[in-house]
Amino acid sequence: MFEAKSHRFLVPFNGGFRVAKSRTKPPKKSAKKNNDAAGWEADLETQSTKLGDSQHRLYSRGTNAVLVILQALDAAGKDGTIRHVFRQVNPCGIQVASFKAPTPLETAHDFLWRTTPHLPAHGHLSVFNRSYYEEVLVVRVHPEFLAAQKLPDAPSGEFWKERFSVINAHERNLANQGTVILKFWLNVSKKEQRERLLARVDDPEKRWKFRMQDLDERDRWDDYLTAYEACLNATSRPWAPWYAIPADDKHFARWQVAKLVNDAFGQVELDFPQPTKEVMAELDVARARLTKE
Ligand code: ATP
Ligand code: MG
């Protein structure tokens, strides 16, 4: 089973993660040369090409799947990260699913129902743009949303703990069966979010993205960070790690996500499958038939 290696942005498994200590700006020092926008962009090209090759190999073996989950506050850059990190992956081998406010049919089911059909089959890569984690984030900030779920019992004090343990069991089950799970929280600062929301107000090409509701959610900033801290601490596990990615610089965030996905691929067996003796014999027959034509 996949196990996360230590990394400076890995959310530890001991509950010691503190949002207040988590960076929103790229680190000043890095082992990587060219620690600037141009350097990250140049290496992103290398990383995304490598990722395309790895997915091809993953498909050839068909023994593992990869699930990437992205969570963040509004305008943190989830869409751009997906667009750039996975730009070299064969569209046949990747599925991206975005989860917005649930429909009545979705809330009438258990909270893992709507995401389950989008989980990756072996050989595939799925990206969740938001996910079942909204059920312990936005819903925790707005417990009034639970009314739509018509739960048989009123939520008790253990309610969120129970949801965390359901999520952990779900992810453990997926990991046991060969899914590599990587979860990224794009950590944007309140100041940077203001700039990006203002750009959505002022830039004619971005206005379509603006929603007044984003300002109401922004007013609940501290509540969201409290919910994120609890969630990341309760659900970062070696087989399904969370990474808190500094997201004030989009170039850095995209590069860092691509690098971490590649590092995880590096831990999975990706050699093209070797034919057995029987298959080799069959290939000899096939070659002979084709060359005779
Ligand atoms: P951007 O970052 O560009 O704003 P987005 O992912 O926020 O993109 P939107 O259409 O703006 O996309 O918002 C989706 C909304 O759906 C979010 O406010 C999110 O909290 C909400 N949502 C997702 N899942 C749930 C859920 N299970 N319950 C309630 N709300 C949810
Ligand atoms: Mg939004």
Q: Is the CB of 225 under 6 A from ligand 1?
A: no
Output the pLDDT for position 32.
65
Output the pLDDT for position 280.
97
Q: In terms of residues, how long is the chain?
A: 293
- Nearest-CA residue for atom 16 of ligand 1: 100
Taking Cα atoms as reference points, which of 184, 194, 254 lies closest to residue 221? 194
List the CATH code of the domain at 19-292: 3.40.50.300
The separation between CA 199 and the C-alpha centre of its own chain, rounded to angstroms, equals 25
Q: Is the CB of 113 under 6 A from ligand 1?
A: no
Output the pLDDT for position 199.
97
Output the pLDDT for position 154.
77
Tokens at 145, concatenated: 């949303």
Output the pLDDT for position 155.
82
pTM of the model: 0.96
* Residues 242 and 164 sit within 8 Å (Cβ to Cβ): no
- List 69's β-bridge partners, or say none: 128, 183
Q: Is the CB of 106 under 6 A from ligand 1?
A: no
Q: Is the CB of 139 under 6 A from ligand 1?
A: yes
Q: Is the CB of 237 under 6 A from ligand 1?
A: no
Output the pLDDT for position 157.
83
Three-state DSSP at 202 gives: helix
Interval between CA 2 and ligand 1 midpoint (Å): 29
10-residue block means of pLDDT along the chain (293 residues)? 96 98 90 80 96 96 96 98 97 96 96 98 97 97 93 87 98 97 98 98 96 97 98 98 98 97 94 95 97 95
Taking Cα atoms as reference points, which of 108, 140, 94, 101 lies closest to residue 235? 140
The Cα–Cα gap between 8 and 270 comes to 26
- In the block, which residue shows the tokens 């003796």? 277
The Cα–Cα gap between 182 and 61 comes to 20
Interval between CA 35 and ligand 1 midpoint (Å): 32
The Cα–Cα gap between 166 and 266 comes to 29
Q: How far apart are the first and last CA of the chain?
A: 47
**267: CB partners within 8 A, 6+ apart:** 2, 3, 5, 180
CB 71: neighbour CB atoms within 10 A?
21
Interval between CA 120 and ligand 2 midpoint (Å): 25
Output the pLDDT for position 153.
82
